[in-house]
Every structure is written in C-alpha cells, then in structure tokens.
Structure 1
C-alpha cells in the first residue's frame, strides 16, 4: 500500500463540512417526499394489524375519510408488540422483525407521523459514519485520510440519502454490514500478527471479545435482512482465500462463530421455510408481477447514482454520459486498489461488491424488479470505499500537476453529491418510490376538484397505493373502497368520482351499472386513474369552457 501522509488541515475542515451537510440533509424535509407503497406496508406491519383485518374494516363498500387509515399506520392501543411480530411471521416473513420492533418502540415514543418514522432511519444513518471509519481503519491502517474521505463521500452520497430518509430497514442493514465486516477484519488482523505464544495468550481475551462481536452483529444483520446470508457468504469466501484454502485455526473459529449466528437465526429461518413450502403446496399461486427494468442499463445508472442523482429517467440521453464518466472512475478505482494494496485488502472489497450482487444479476434474466434494488447496498458500500481510497491516495502522490488534477476530480465528485442532495431534499417524489412515484401528481388532480370521491379495490398494488395517497389527499376527499371488485355503491353528492387503477372488466361493469363513461386522467407504467364522466351534454359544455380558457391564455 502506498504511503499516506497525515491529513492536511484543509482536508480535515472539508471532511467536517461535508459531514455536517450530510447530517443536515438527512433530517431536512423528512415528510416532503411521498410516503410510498412499501413504506405504508412498514407502518401496517408496525401497527400489528393483518391485511385481512384492514380489508374488513375499510374495504367494505362504505364511504370513509382519510382519518380511517391512521389506525393501521403505526403504534396503537389495540395491538401489542407481539402482534407486530406475529403479523410479520404470518404475512411477511421475508422481512425479519428487528427493524419493525425498534420502529414500533420508536413510534410509541415519538408518534406515528411520517417525520417520526423516517427520523428513525435518519438517526440510524448517523451510526454509518463511525462504522465506516472503523472499517477503513481495519482495511488500510491509516488514521484519517482514507476513513475521512470515505465518511465525506458517504455523507453526501445520493444513494445513502435515499435510504437514510426511508421508513424501511435497509439503513439499519448497512450499519450491521459495516459492524460485522469491521469486526471480522480486526480479528483476522490480530490473528495474523506475531504468533509468539506469550503474545498470543495476551491477545486471546481480545480475540474472544471481537469474535463475539462478529457473531452478534452477524445475527443482528440476519434479523434485519435475509440478504445478509450472502454478505456472510462473502465473508466466508474471504476468510478461506486469506487462509490459502487451509483449515487454519482462524477458519475453524470463523466457521464455529458463523454457525452460532445462524443457529441464533434458526427460529426465523424455520418460519421463512414454512411459508415457502406453504406457497408451493398452495392452490393459489397468483402473483402480480410488477413492471421489470432492463438489468444492465439499470445497474449502470445505479452505479452513477452512488455519486450523482437528480432523478433522471432511464431513457434520458444524458444518463449515458453521466454513467460513462462514473463507470470509468469506479473501474479505475478498482484497478488501482488491486495494484497498490495487499490481496487481503482488495479481495475483501471485491467479494463485498460481487457476492451479494451476483445472485440478483444471474436470476434477473435480463430484467430486474425495482424492489430488489436495496440488496445492492453491500456493493454500493464496497464501491464507495474503493473510490475513497483512490481519491485519498492521489491527493498525496505524484507531481504537483497530477495532484491538482485529482483535487479537481475530488471537487467535482463533491459538487455532484451536494447538488444531488439539494435536489433530492426538495423533491416530492424520487425514483425509489416505485409504483408510488406518480402519487403527488394524482393527488394534485384529485385535490383540485370540489367534492371528490376516490373508488378503489384491494387487488394488486391498489391496496398499498390507497394508503399512500391518503397521506397526500386533502380532508375533503372521501374514499369508497371495495373488496373483490364489487360494484361500488356511489352515493349522491359527489361531483367528481375517480377510479384508482380499475381492471378493464370492473371499469366496464361500473360504466354499465351507472350509465356513465370513464375518462383516463392519469397513467404510468404502474397504474392508471379514471374519472367517471358526467352526462354527454354537460361534458361538451365543460370541454368548451376548458378550450376557451386555453385560448385566452
């Protein structure tokens, strides 16, 4: 590894400034972005209510207000923490319970608002910074240069900001990945030092403590996200390669510690396997497939979003230029890391980047679901640390002109991160909101009407999207929710009736039953919104008025 000098004063001040900005961005406008489909499911699981109970309560063909949703969106007196755990075990075991337990306790203290639940993720994200420092110290054994630059890059990283402001478990998962990885590196570094027996005996209690930390953090990671199994696999590959395929004491201890962690996770693994086999023998295997995204273009865009993200669409031509620039930076960083560090350093980061991502890429068959994107978080982390090593090293090495060039590159990366964070903090929606991306626009259309009624069923994505829209719609909006596409009983008194993502057959049945036509008012790749049209004569009158207004403008 190349010699790294102590961090100069200007770089220390820059790191402190970027860290401060990153913290401020994490807590700024927490409730500004749409509370998306997946986040409403987080609140539902925390509440302890099951989907069937919610359908009985509000999807019953009766007119309700948006306040009716609040009972099922957070901690409440009717359900306990045990109900939260049992709800996950029976309806969604693929999301382990740790985050939801912490979130329920948090919401019992701070309330059920969007700001309250997202502030938990923002607070957890602050733990990322000391954990990144520890990981980089174990990898590169330098006091501040690489760890400081890594902290600065992560502080203003748009992809990190996304998960630091989302009511899901992924930022907690990142913290557990950092802790388990850093503790594994530390214990391997201590065991690889002088093998003198007296020294070894003095270090044994320290080694036992660190192996215990690894076992606990790995178990916690598994109870946070099932994909931690692939992070553990990456660790196992690294340990075996570092031992040169020999069954050394370190390898045996690692296998024993990992076994303890997985045994601790065995109760939840049993639940997951039971749910999977129940699905296999179930007669109803109907799964609503969300829209798929081409794998390669999406992954290329995600690589650039680590450093620069202003919510550009996948087909935007500018993306190709941005992606190419950052792909070159990442590729050069990986090559530089492999050429200038010990194999134990670069191989650890390569396995962290590749192993958790490989199953997603191989199983995608050319197309990937947006919902699987968070499982690339270990890869994002490995890439950010790799780039941080390159940037921190290059500002010290080479001629003055070479250092100046790299200082300009660092400045551009920082500017990209700050611009991205600024744009993201003021946006109402973002690419990670998936099927709820267009909800602010839909809410604006509905809120503009005088006496609106939103009609929907509980099929597919409608269930979660109705909850998401309830956060955006004004109190004047009423909801008429039905189960199994029953004909809605639309009462008199509503001037504007909207249908949220109706199937073609259901929409035609409503048209025939009420002798009305429907006009589409919004559509994207996930869902559509239709409006029940008034009588033909009144419709023509409204069109003429609208045309006059447009011509006057």
Structure 2
C-alpha cells in the first residue's frame, strides 16, 4: 500500500463519469422490467394486508378486473404502520420491518406506481458510494486512489444495478453492511491509538461514541435482513483473530456493543423463532417446493455477475469463457491481497466473503444443488470480492514497469467496459435472471393480450399467487380474472373468446375438461409454470354459464 499514489486527475474524472453513468442507468426505464413475484409481496406487506385477507376478497370464484388487485399493492390509507408490521410478523417474519416501513412512508408521498416503489431502492443505492469510500479509508487506512477505484467498481457492478432497481430490501442491506463494517473498523482503530496524555483523557468518550455507532448500525442491519447475523459473526471472528484470541479491552467492548444490538433485535427474533417452531410442527412445511440449481455453476455464475452480466444461461458457450476469465481475476485478487497486505486487512475481507456464504453453501454442497433464489444472501461475499479486486487494480496500475502497468490499465478498462455494456443490455430488457419464477411473465402476458376477450383462471397454490399479481401489471384492462382456492371448479361465464388456465395441476385441469366437456391445449411451458387454453371439443358443445351482473365484480 505504500507504493500507491494519490488519485491522479484522469482517474478522478473517470470516477465522476462512472458515477454519473451509474446514476443515469439506475433511474432509466425503472418500470420497464416485470414487477415480479417477490416485489408484489413487498407491495402487499406495505399495504398492511395478509395473503389470507386477499384470498378471502378476490380468490372467491367471481369475475374481476385487474383494478381489483390495486388496493393490495402499496400504500393503503385504510391500514396503519402496525398493519404493515403485523403482516410481516404473521406471514413473513424472515423479513424484518425496517425497509417496509421506510417504503410505506415513501409511497405515501410518491404514490404506488412501479417507478415510485423502485425509485426508493435507487436513492438508497446512492448511499453505497460514500459508504464504500469510508470503509476503504478505515480498512486500508490510506487516503489514496484505492477508495476511488472501489467506488468505480461498485458504480458499474451489474449485480448492484439489479438490486438497486428492485422493490426489495437487499440494497438497503448492502448499505447497512458497509456502515456497520466501517463503524467497527473505526471503533477498533480509535481503541488502539497510542495512549499519550491527551488520548488518555479523550479516549473513553471517543471510544464510547464509536462503539455506539457500531451498535446502532448493526441493529439497523439486523432489522433490514436476518442474514446480518452472519455478518456479525464475521465481524466477531475478525475481532477475535486480530486480538489473537485474547480477552483484550477491544474484545470486551465489541462483545458489549454486539450484545446491545442483539438485545435491541430480540423482539423480532422472538417472532422469528416462534414462526420457525410453528413451521416445524405444521403439516404445511411438507408442501413447500424449492427450485434448485447445481451449486458449483450457480456460484460461478454469481461470481461473474459481479463484473459482467448479459443474462446468459449456462447453455450458452460464452458463459464458460466469461466464468473462466472472471475466476482467474478474482482468484488472483484474493491471493494478492493475502500476500501483500497486513493480516488485519485480508482477514477482514476473507471473513466477509466466507462466513455469510458458508451457512448457505454447506448444506447445498452436500446435496449438490442450491436454491435458485439464494443470490441476495451472497451480497456480503460480493462486497469482499470487490474490495479485493479494487486493491489489486489500484496497486497494479501504478507498480512495476511501463508494460506491466499498461497491461493492468487495460484490464481495468475491460472491467469498466464490461460493466457499462452490461448496464446497457440490462436497461433495454423487459425481464432478467433475478425475476425467478416471473421471468417469463412478459411473454405469457403478450400471448393473453393478443386475444380479443380473454378470461384468466387460476388458483392460489404455491407461486401462483405472486405470479398472478405480477401478471396483473402486464395484462390489458380487457382481461378478466376468475381466481379460486383449493382447486375449486370455477363457473365460467359465456362471452369470452379465449379462456386460459394458469399453471393448473393435472387433476384440476382434467376435472375442468370433464365438467365443461372441453379440451385443453398448452400455450406456454417453462421450468416454473405452464399456461393452458380451453378449446371446444369436436364431439360436444361446452356447457358455459351466462355472464351476469351477479358474477361479475368490478372494482
């Protein structure tokens, strides 16, 4: 680190340019991508309703329009902050309430549009840049070009663009990780300053203030995302390791600050444990089906998405070339930082990369597959990798002979270009890999919207519930819905040119066929769901009830 230099003017200009481009891309086409399954649940929690109440009101077999979904998506003046908290506590305690409460106030001011709710994440994501600067200053302890390069990497990182444009708490979680990590390092630095007479008089107050900041930021992180507990474990391992496993004053103060944070989080933790034990004794737990993907390809793909992301599948040969190149860069960055920095630096980065990811990876490495929605849990690992890469680039573009510096400057330029091109591709797409079970919703909506007078029929099983809400944002007002529970046979009115069954089970679909003497033809199918169309049987005429005001409920 002593060979690094102050930030030259060209690098300052580059950082400002990348920051501007990053901000523009974050705000560009915010509503263009599908508002997917998990985001509809975010809006549901903000509204203060529960899925039970929603099913009672619209999953009742009546004909409804897309406007019927609006009251359950976003700020609803009929419900209070307490309703939002209770919705999470009773049905989704794995998500603490901090982000949802902030989002509720945000939507109360700016409305319930997709652009409004996603813009909150965009504005939160802008806090990443000063926070990463602070963390680099505390970690590397040098006012050099390294924090600037770290800001540049964060600014053009495709993985951060994904979460900066999602109505979910993940980008807020990243901010709280940065804040708590920087606050920890600052508190430890102040604690270890030389104890001259002036420091002895001031140190207790300074130390208390800094450890108090750490306790507050860790509490905020816990109330943002439960996985912050493992980030806290990484912090604890770092403190104990740097203290050489001795009970020093720093260790004792750290334990006290962490204890305060966990005591502050205890009320929500009690709710989480209660729900967990209820899940263990509930028969519903056996019905949950998770979409799985091979663990090694998954991890490599996520690794590459830190720097380059064209939404490519593993079936594309280009993916393997990208994976190979990124793996070499990241592997060398981790090796380089371990070989060239003080152990207090590389231990922090390794702990941040490994500890939060380990509980996620170990069970999946044993089974050979991993949950396809596990990507956000790796955010601390993404951060550690980016810190190591920033250090590598900041060091190499100044050290060595001219040819060596030129090579690393080219590498840094390629990383920046890959990030910007990824941003460009992302900004023009209507769906992306992070949309999960809703990835194909735009395509399905296009099929349905092309018909003259469509009827959309589904039940509330599994992911159907969230996907129905997601599709309601994409389907035209002419589409009518009949939603049922427990695979009840719907009463299909006359007057519709096309009737679609969304992701029906085989038994439910065949029962509907027999009831109305119709056939079903599949119009769409992927790894997540299928869409079928009811068509007239050759031998018989369908028995369909008349469309009346009694069974048509317009909201």
**Structure 1 residues 139-148 or 511-520, which shifts more?**
139-148
Unaligned 5+ residue runs, structure 2? 542-555
User: Which residue is 2:517 aligned to?
Assistant: 515
User: Which residue is 1:483 aligned to?
Assistant: 485
User: Which residue is 2:381 aligned to?
Assistant: 379
Q: Normalising by structure 2, what TM-score?
A: 0.96
Kept after mapping to 1: 8 A contact 2:34/2:442: yes
1:286 and 2:281 correspond: no
User: Which residue is 1:431 aligned to?
Assistant: 433
- Structure 1 residues 396 and 537, CA, compared in 2 at 3 Å: closer, same or farther? farther
Kept after mapping to 2: 8 A contact 1:137/1:147: yes
Deviation string, structure 1 residues 492-524 (Cα, Å, up to 9, x no partner): 000100000000000000111111110111111
User: Which residue is 2:267 aligned to?
Assistant: 267
Q: Distance in 1 between matches of 2:190 and 2:538?
A: 81
Kept after mapping to 2: 8 A contact 1:124/1:172: yes
User: Which residue is 1:19 aligned to?
Assistant: 19
Q: Distance in 2 between matches of 1:259 and 1:309?
A: 40
Aligned pairs for 1:230-269 (under 5 A) are 230-269=230-269
Kept after mapping to 2: 8 A contact 1:125/1:172: yes
User: Which residue is 1:205 aligned to?
Assistant: 205
Aligned pairs for 1:401-480 (under 5 A) are 401-480=403-482
- Structure 1 residues 145 and 425, CA, compared in 2 at 3 Å: closer, same or farther? same
Q: Distance in 1 between matches of 2:290 and 2:61?
A: 27
Q: In structure 2, the residue corresponding to 1:49 is in which secondary structure?
A: coil
Q: Measure how far apart 1:43 and its partner are.
A: 0.4
User: Which residue is 2:108 aligned to?
Assistant: 108
Q: Measure how far apart 1:205 and its partner are.
A: 1.7
1:3 and 2:3 correspond: yes
**Structure 1 residues 530-539 or 305-314, which shifts more?**
530-539
Aligned pairs for 1:109-508 (under 5 A) are 109-364=109-364, 365-508=367-510
Q: Measure how far apart 1:77 and its partner are.
A: 1.9
User: Which residue is 1:61 aligned to?
Assistant: 61
Q: Distance in 1 between matches of 2:115 and 2:88?
A: 23
Q: Distance in 2 between matches of 1:274 and 1:202?
A: 45
Q: Measure how far apart 1:193 and its partner are.
A: 2.3
Q: Distance in 2 between matches of 1:25 and 1:517?
A: 47
Kept after mapping to 2: 8 A contact 1:298/1:314: no
Q: Distance in 1 between matches of 2:342 and 2:434?
A: 37
Q: In structure 2, the residue corresponding to 1:226 is in which secondary structure?
A: coil
Kept after mapping to 1: 8 A contact 2:5/2:144: no
Kept after mapping to 1: 8 A contact 2:4/2:144: no
Q: Distance in 2 between matches of 1:2 and 1:66?
A: 62
Kept after mapping to 2: 8 A contact 1:39/1:168: yes
Q: Measure how far apart 1:372 and its partner are.
A: 1.8
Q: Measure how far apart 1:327 and its partner are.
A: 0.5
Q: Distance in 1 between matches of 2:282 and 2:539?
A: 52
Unaligned 5+ residue runs, structure 1? 540-553
User: Which residue is 1:546 aligned to?
Assistant: none
Q: Measure how far apart 1:484 and its partner are.
A: 0.8
Q: Distance in 2 between matches of 1:308 and 1:536?
A: 53
Kept after mapping to 2: 8 A contact 1:2/1:393: no
Structure 1 segments of 4+ aligned residues over 6 angstroms from their partners: none
Q: Measure how far apart 1:266 and its partner are.
A: 0.4
Q: Measure how far apart 1:393 and its partner are.
A: 1.0
Q: Distance in 1 between matches of 2:286 and 2:476?
A: 35
**Structure 1 residues 193-202 or 7-16, which shifts more?**
193-202
Q: Distance in 1 between matches of 2:110 and 2:349?
A: 38
Q: Measure how far apart 1:307 and its partner are.
A: 0.2
1:76 and 2:76 correspond: yes
Q: Normalising by structure 1, what TM-score?
A: 0.96
Q: Distance in 2 between matches of 1:469 and 1:199?
A: 62
User: Which residue is 1:37 aligned to?
Assistant: 37
Q: In structure 2, the residue corresponding to 1:265 is in which secondary structure?
A: helix
Q: Measure how far apart 1:287 and its partner are.
A: 2.9
Q: Measure how far apart 1:144 and its partner are.
A: 4.1
Q: Distance in 2 between matches of 1:470 and 1:145?
A: 48
Kept after mapping to 2: 8 A contact 1:2/1:340: no
Kept after mapping to 1: 8 A contact 2:522/2:533: yes
- Structure 1 residues 537 and 2, CA, compared in 2 at 3 Å: closer, same or farther? farther
Q: In structure 2, the residue corresponding to 1:510 is in which secondary structure?
A: helix
Q: In structure 2, the residue corresponding to 1:485 is in which secondary structure?
A: coil
